[in-house]
Amino acid sequence: MSIRPITMIGHRALEQRTRKVREVTPELRTLVADMFETNDAADGAGLAAPQVGSRWRLFVYSCPDAAGVLRRGVVINPRLERFGGLELDEETLEGCLSVPGEGFPTARFRGARVRGTDLEGADVLVEDDGGVLARALQHEVDHLDGMLYIDRLSPALRREALDAVTSRGWRAEGLLSWDPGATTQEEV
């Protein structure tokens, strides 16, 4: 296992839809193990394959559900269902490992359910109503569809987010990833 660089806003991998996983290969198992290690090193709630430069339709998660129970796993070829109504809590800031150090209020559905498979091909159902996990499920599937959370912000907040990205120098040519094994989000 190894920690992989995390792609940052502006990287092409974050703007593309992912490809369905047809077979779990040894390389895919290594990718998933590396994604868990990378997510842990970055102190993330989840990590989608495009965030480490891969085009496969899968993500890992490690965060609490609405009951405060830590949930951890992988979902391959997820299908997302949202429920419970769209909510915007001005006090809850959503962040992203691909936009490190920033956070903005983002409208998300209260609940989410994801169906897919695990590395052994077994059916997986992950569901949460009102916890960090519900938000993470929606966030990670967005990544698999080529979307960042800042794409869901109001126009004013989106402008603020893009200005922050520019002021941090992340739009500088060549700065397309960061290494969570060597630094923290705040240092990026």
Q: What is the pLDDT of residue 32?
A: 98
The answer to whether residue 179 sits within a structural domain is no
Q: What is the pLDDT of residue 174?
A: 64
The answer to whether residue 172 sits within a structural domain is no
The answer to whether residue 56 sits within a structural domain is yes
When pLDDT is averaged across residues 105-130 and rounded to a whole number, the result is 97
Q: Sorting pLDDT into bands at 50, 70 and 90, what band is 110?
A: very high
Asked if 144 and 18 count as a contact pair (C-beta separation under 8 A), the reply is yes
The answer to whether residue 187 sits within a structural domain is no
The answer to whether residue 141 sits within a structural domain is yes
Please provide the DSSP assignment of 113-160 as one string. EEEEE-TTS-EEEEEEESSHHHHHHHHHHHHHTT--GGGGS-HHHHHH
Q: What is the pLDDT of residue 145?
A: 98
Residue 120: HSE in the Cβ half-sphere, 13 Å Cα cutoff: 4
The answer to whether residue 177 sits within a structural domain is no
When pLDDT is averaged across residues 101-114 and rounded to a whole number, the result is 95
**Structural domain boundaries, residue 109:** 6-167
The answer to whether residue 188 sits within a structural domain is no
> Residue 6 forms beta bridges with which residues?
178
**Which region among 4-8, 66-70, 174-178 has the lowest average model confidence (pLDDT)?**
174-178
- The answer to whether 96 is a known ligand-binding residue is yes
pLDDT in tens, 41-63: 999 999 999 999 999 999 999 99
Q: Sorting pLDDT into bands at 50, 70 and 90, what band is 95?
A: very high
- The answer to whether 143 is a known ligand-binding residue is yes
Category of 130 on φ-ψ map: left (φ > 0), alpha (ψ -120 to 50) or beta: left
**Which region among 9-13, 16-20, 109-113, 135-139 has the lowest average model confidence (pLDDT)?**
9-13
Model confidence at 16: pLDDT above 80: yes
The answer to whether residue 44 sits within a structural domain is yes
Give percent above pLDDT 90 in the chain.
82
Q: Domain count of the chain? A: 1
At residue 46's C-alpha, the angle toward residues 180 and 75, to 5°, is: 130
Catalytic-role residue among 81, 91, 140, 160: 140
* Catalytic annotation present for 140: yes
Query: Whole-prediction pTM value?
Result: 0.92
Model confidence at 171: pLDDT above 70: no
When pLDDT is averaged across residues 174-183 and rounded to a whole number, the result is 80
Looking up residue 150, the CATH number of its domain turns out to be 3.90.45.10
Q: Sorting pLDDT into bands at 50, 70 and 90, what band is 165?
A: confident
Distance CA 18, CA 50 (A): 8
